[in-house]
Amino acid sequence: MATICAAVLYQSRVDAMDRAAEASRNVALLAERDIERTFELYALSLQAAVEGMSDPEVLAASPQLRNMALFDRAATATHLGSMLVLDAEGSILIDAASSVPRKANFADREYFQVHRDHPDVGLYVGRPYASRLRDGSLSIPLSRRISRADGSFAGIVLIAVQLDYFHNLFSALSLGPHGSIALIRRDGTMIMRQPYDEKVIGSDIHNASTFKQFLLAAEGSFSGTSTIDGVQRRYYFKNLSNLPLIIMVAEAHSDIYAAWRHRALTISVVLGILVVAFIALSIALGTQMKRRRLAESELAMLARTDGLTGLNNRRTLDEILDQEWRRARRNGSMLSLLFMDIDRFKSYNDTYGHQAGDEALVAVAKCIANNIRRPGDSAARYGGEEFVVVLPDTTQDGAINIAESIRMKVSDLSIKNRGSEYGHITISVGVVTWTPEWETDIAAFIYAADQALYSAKTTGRNRVAVSTAHFASYALDKQAST
């Protein structure tokens, strides 16, 4: 029994470390997505400003209109310190905060010199610095070069992101009493670290043994001791794919094993007092784990399916559509969508009651599910009495055949409906088939199917209508309208 106890405790210790590593990865993923989304928006604002600086009409406009054209609404972002255009000498040429630029020169700043001396840098994420315009507030610069027609240096466009953004983001992530999260440049410059210490910001840690591990792979996990505070932690790190940054999340070993140590002591005492009690505890633990697995399995199923019809729910549909849209665009294959709606369903509910309405929904959902047999095809309840079927690698003719089959099967149910012109429950179906070739919103695809459904409704119901909009023509029309 002592041997079994030791084996259980050892496995529990391993599991605690595995859970900590997974938790650290999830925290890092949350922070990474927030940072990449924010930086992407700022990068687009910088690019727009660079392009605007080459437009004579923009430069000839009044200062207020020019600032609106160059900076749009980016300058009003919560954690944006400054958004400036600097000339070739480093002086402020245009200031997003004022129609009259503030007086300052930044030719000595690293980010300015990098763009001046290296034309091909692109988007540059600089080191933290104390702002001269905002009483020493700590920020990091995002900048792009402005070049003249002959390629010579004409200045830069700069966005100063306040480090409070990272501080607030990291403070909201729970890592235990001794955990740590940091954002580091790939040259070893510390941009932000939690627990926060202003002395650490901007420090160079490229010689630290932990940082050297960060450069060995795109992402990974390992145990090590921090050179900053000497705490032993389990590190998870990831090099951001589109930015010269590394996100690091580390949970202290003392926090990871705190619950395990308490459990080990309790089990040891119980084992020493009474072996029978240990056996009973093992049985109880096994039962509890089995219940938990069953509960988690049920919750996972409920989270992905519609409780009434058993089809995929709206959230699962969005995931499937996004996946199949990307695959179709990548492979150049066709993707078809069926948008279905039960005809005169409100009248049916009003006449026969909501209980009968639910039973009709279940019957229609069963017809839909029984008529899509390929593993890749998916059906979902879109909302109310609306259903959607996703058909990867399906031509328009094939989609029409499936739509007609479902329509006839529903009609054959012969569910009486006095409010329908056909005397029983029927459905209308909109069909769309596209081969994606350019980047666009999936909402356009759904909209085309919805328009086809509307056509089926307005031309008599209980029929299948095919969308006449093509992908290319829709994209061109949408571009022209914007």
| Domain map (residue ranges) of the chain | 18-260, 314-481
pLDDT of residue 75: 54
Virtual CA dihedral for 352, 354, 356, 359, nearest 10 degrees? 160
Residues 6+ apart with CB under 8 A from 282: none
| Options 3.40.47.10, 3.30.450.20, 3.30.750.24, 3.40.50.10330; CATH of 18-260 | 3.30.450.20
Sheet of strand 180-185: strand arrangement = 190-194, 180-185, 245-252, 232-239, 219-225
**Helices and strands (H, E) in the chain, number of each type:** 15, 16
Section 14-20 average pLDDT: 86
Whether pLDDT at 475 is above 70? no
pLDDT above 90 (res 451): yes
Question: Would you state the pLDDT for residue 50?
Answer: 86
* Mean pLDDT, range 382-388, rounded to an integer: 92
Residue 294's pLDDT band, with cuts at 50, 70 and 90, is: confident
CATH of 314-481, one of 1.10.357.10, 3.20.20.210, 3.40.50.1100, 3.30.70.270: 3.30.70.270
- 456 has pLDDT over 90: yes
Higher pLDDT, 54 or 240: 240
pLDDT digits (tens, 9 = 90+) for 339-374: 999 999 999 999 999 999 999 999 999 999 998 888
Tokens of 285: 């633990």
- Name the percent of the chain lying above pLDDT 70: 95
482 has a pLDDT exceeding 70? no
**What span, in angstroms and rounded, lies between the C-alpha atoms of 288 and 280?**
12
Q: Grade residue 83 by pLDDT with cuts at 50, 70 and 90.
A: confident
**Residue 480, pLDDT score:** 47
Q: What's residue 263's pLDDT?
A: 84
145-149 mean pLDDT:
90
- Minimum mean pLDDT range among 39-53, 61-75, 232-246, 338-352: 61-75
Tell me the average pLDDT across 461-470: 86
Report which of 101, 129, 94 is spatially closest to residue 113, judged by C-alpha positions.
129
Query: What's the rounded Cα separation, in Å, for the pair 169 and 243?
Result: 18
